[in-house]
Amino acid sequence: MKTRLIVSSGQYEQAAITVTVNHKTWSGLCRRITQLEKKHAVYGDNWAGWIKARVALADADKDRWWDNVVIGGRWCSPGNGWLTEHPDIEESMHMTYPELKATLGL
């Protein structure tokens, strides 16, 4: 199965890309998400340490993209929201892993 994801990284300024990942199982998709979070992590200043990249399920009709004139590239507001393991956080746009699983029908 192929799944399109958005990966965004940065501390103050964000840059995002769309990637297509191949996986056969739900655990395989979760493993790829974790790999992308680590691969695109950035080292933050002011003792922030490593900041994992954010990942979202791509949706060409709902995603909103803008040019980032400060650092180049593009930044994104995903229509499905950023994936989170903590649904209680106060972000207006997020998607939990159970919601991702249900959306993909896995």
pLDDT one-digit tens code per residue, 19-44? 999 999 999 999 999 999 999 999 98
Q: Answer with the residue of higher pLDDT: 18 or 74.
A: 18
pLDDT tens digits for 48-91? 889 999 999 999 999 998 887 676 678 888 998 888 876 666 55
Domain count, the chain: 1
DSSP-assigned beta bridge partners for residue 20: 4
What is the domain range of residue 81? 2-104
CB atoms within 10 A of CB 83: 21
**CA-to-CA separations, 27 to 81, 87, 98, in angstroms, rounded:** 20, 20, 12
Residue pair 1/23 in contact (Cβ under 8 Å)? The answer is: yes
pLDDT at 75: 83
Q: What is the pLDDT of residue 12?
A: 78
